[in-house]
């Protein structure tokens, strides 16, 4: 998968052709036919999101529309409707977070980025997909998230997790993920947009073409927001030759000089 989309097995190339022919017979648009015929698929016919992905969006700097600042490039925003509908008290907290963002952003400590921030943080992440689950390895923080697609539901007696608990199902070719049971330690971006441990995220993952995923998330948190809101980015497949994730573990950087033991100077 280093330079292009994983080639489906010949069986599925044939199946793809059959799908296109059938779609043609039904009179679907040529764009839909093309997308349905070309996207990579698992043996069970579901879209296969395996690959290394990254956004080109500036969402991680500040999800909301903003002109250029010293700490952020200008950006029209990734939130549907522009702004995040904070409850009044939460808006005060957001303003405090924003003022202290140069020191208080949890990402600066190397903490796991959470959901959805890990998806649009400007470092690549890799998806490994099987029928029963979809595992995302994030280069930043070296963290791992599993989305179960095995007809299981959230645990009956959950903890609070950094990445929540994610259960996915398919609606056509869209992977719909229900993620909940988060802790309150992560932010949505570097601008201090935040949530409580009541966060609930519903994600929708859809191929636009074999190298492009449309990612949308509905964010709900009755402690912090007056209503659910939507955020969306586009993810692009890394197709550079020999591209791979490189471990980005930050907790130890301050101590790097102390390891490993060194031989005596000659």
Provide the terminal-to-terminal Cα distance of the chain, rounded to the nearest Å.
Answer: 46
- Using CB under 8 A as the binding rule, whether residue 27 contacts other proteins is answered as no
Contact 237, 52 (CB under 8 A): yes
In the bound complex, what is the minimum distance in angstroms from residue 64's beta carbon to other proteins? 27
Q: Which of 27, 29, 88, 159 binds other proteins (CB under 8 A)?
A: 159
In the bound complex, what is the minimum distance in angstroms from residue 15's beta carbon to other proteins? 14
197 by Cβ neighbours in 10 Å (0-12 / 13-18 / 19+) ranks as middle
10 versus 68: smaller Cβ distance to other proteins: 10
- Using CB under 8 A as the binding rule, whether residue 137 contacts other proteins is answered as yes
In the bound complex, what is the minimum distance in angstroms from residue 151's beta carbon to other proteins? 3
In the bound complex, what is the minimum distance in angstroms from residue 153's beta carbon to other proteins? 5
Rounded Cα distance, 80 and 231, in Å: 6
265-to-55, 258, 261, 262 alpha-carbon distances in Å: 46, 16, 12, 8
Closest CA to 194 of 123, 88, 117, 128: 117
Handedness of CA 129, 184, 186, 174 (dihedral sign): positive
Q: What angle do CA 19, 29, 57 make, to 5 degrees?
A: 95
- Using CB under 8 A as the binding rule, whether residue 103 contacts other proteins is answered as no
- Using CB under 8 A as the binding rule, whether residue 170 contacts other proteins is answered as no
- Using CB under 8 A as the binding rule, whether residue 238 contacts other proteins is answered as no
Q: Which of 197, 209, 214, 220 binds other proteins (CB under 8 A)?
A: 197
78 versus 224: smaller Cβ distance to other proteins: 224
Detail the DSSP E strand segments found in 14-62.
51-55
Which helix (H) or strand (E) segment holds residue 213: the answer is strand 212-220
Q: How many residues bind other proteins (CB under 8 A)?
A: 56
Name the site residues for other proteins (rule: CB under 8 A).
1-2, 6, 9, 43, 50, 109-112, 126, 128-130, 132, 135, 137, 142-144, 146, 148, 150-156, 158-163, 181, 183, 185, 197, 242, 244-247, 249, 251-252, 254-256, 258-261, 263-264
């Amino acid at each position: 998968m280093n330079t292009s989309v994983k080639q489906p097995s010949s069986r599925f190339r044939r199946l793809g052709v059959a799908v296109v022919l059938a779609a043609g017979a039904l009179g679907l648009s040529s764009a839909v036919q093309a997308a349905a015929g070309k996207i990579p698929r698992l043996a069970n016919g579901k879209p296969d999101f395996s690959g290394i992905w990254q956004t080109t969006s500036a969402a991680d700097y500040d999800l909301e529309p903003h002109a250029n600042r010293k700490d952020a490039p200008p950006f029209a925003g990734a939130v549907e409707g522009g702004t995040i509908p904070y409850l009044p008290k939460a808006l005060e907290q957001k303003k405090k977070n924003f003022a202290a963002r140069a020191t208080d952003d949890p990402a600066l400590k190397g903490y796991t980025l959470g959901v959805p921030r890990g998806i649009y943080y400007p470092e690549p992440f890799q998806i490994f997909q099987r029928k029963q689950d979809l595992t995302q390895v994030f280069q930043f923080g070296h963290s791992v998230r599993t989305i179960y697609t095995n007809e299981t539901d959230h645990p009956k007696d959950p903890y609070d997790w950094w990445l929540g608990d994610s259960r996915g199902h398919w609606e056509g070719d869209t992977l719909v993920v229900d993620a909940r049971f988060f802790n309150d330690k992560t932010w949505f971006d570097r601008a201090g947009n935040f949530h409580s441990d009541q966060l609930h995220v519903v994600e929708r993952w859809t191929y636009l073409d074999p190298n492009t995923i449309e990612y949308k998330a509905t964010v709900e948190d009755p402690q912090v927001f007056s209503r659910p809101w939507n955020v969306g980015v586009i993810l692009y497949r890394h197709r550079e030759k020999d591209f791979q994730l490189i471990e980005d573990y930050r907790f130890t950087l301050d101590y790097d000089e102390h390891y490993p033991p060194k031989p005596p100077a000659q």
